Amino acid sequence: MGDFVDAVESVIRHVQESKDTVLAIEPLLRSLVTDPDWLNEKYRRAISAKAYAQYLLYRPADRAFSVVSFVWNPGQGSPIHDHCTWGVIGQYEGEEEESRFRILDNRLERIAVVLARPGDVSHVYPPSRDIHQITNRSATPTISIHIYGGDIGSQRRHTYDPNTAAMQEFISGYDAPDLLPPRTDWKAQEA
Ligand SMILES: [Fe+2]
């Protein structure tokens, strides 16, 4: 994880365009999510009362980016939402369905449905590739690792009504913020 964070920091400090940023980060994240032993157990736990748990794994002091593990309960999904920043998604355990949307004539149009399998990566960035919905249609919890520009837990963004495309602002926060590991935590894991 330390090497991964260093590589992401190098990308975001040197690359300007969101499209170039996500394409540069995708192979880095693919390497991370193809290591089955990498993620600590405390960031793999589903929260039974919620559709999904989101644990902050890393965030630099200037909050230029954030790395998050999402743990989805069986049969649960997100609302249709945007991010208002770039993001890269890596499938870690299980399979998640991702639907992509665009707004056309004040309604939402589903433009793609993709089943993400372990090791698959994808990306979002505004305004053209920012609206999606993730669903775990399997019978067991699934885990995906997400990296976003900025601090996604405090980012003002939106959910969308599937019928009217009406937007509603939300700020997601993080689950179990006391679990935020200092950078040295990753070094310890690798030792
Ligand atoms: Fe998302």
Q: Cα of 180 to ligand 1 centre, how many Å?
A: 20
Q: Which amino acid does the sequence have at 8? A: V
User: In angstroms, what is the span from residue 134 Cα to ligand 1's centroid?
Assistant: 7
What are the sequence ranges of the domains in the chain? 2-176
Please state, as a whole number, how many other Cβ atoms lie within 10 Å of the Cβ of residue 97: 16
pLDDT value, residue 187: 45
Give pairs for 105-114: CB < 8 Å, separation 24+. Answer: 106/164, 106/165, 107/163, 107/164, 107/165, 108/80, 108/160, 108/162, 108/165
To which residue do tokens 């004539």 refer?
105
Question: From ligand 1's centre to the CA of 78, what distance in Å?
Answer: 8
Q: How many CB atoms lie within 10 A of CB 106?
A: 8
172 alpha carbon – ligand 1 mean position (Å): 11
- Fold classification of 2-176 is Jelly Rolls (2.60.120)
pTM of the predicted structure, to 2 decimals: 0.93
How confident is the prediction along the chain (191 residues), in pLDDT tens digits per residue? 889 999 999 999 998 899 999 999 999 999 999 998 899 999 999 999 999 999 999 999 899 999 999 999 999 999 999 999 999 999 999 999 999 999 998 899 999 999 999 999 999 999 999 999 999 999 999 999 999 999 999 999 999 999 999 999 999 999 987 777 655 455 445 43
Give distance in angstroms: CA of 80 to centre of ligand 1: 8
**Distance from residue 131's CA to the centre of ligand 1 (Å):** 7
Residue 77 CA, ligand 1 centroid: distance in Å: 10
Q: Which two tokens stand for residue 8?
A: 């992401």
Neighbouring CB atoms inside 10 A of 159's CB total: 17
Ligand 1: centre distance to CA 35 (Å): 22
- Please tell me the predicted confidence (pLDDT) of residue 186: 53
pLDDT score of 182? 55
Which strand ranges, in their side-by-side order, compose the sheet holding 142-149? 52-58, 65-72, 142-149, 87-93, 121-124
- DSSP strands (E only) in the chain: 52-58, 65-72, 87-93, 96-104, 107-116, 121-124, 131-135, 142-149, 157-160, 167-170
* CA–centroid distance, residue 191 to ligand 1 (Å): 32
Expressed in angstroms and rounded, the spacing between residue 137 Cα and the centre of ligand 1 is: 16
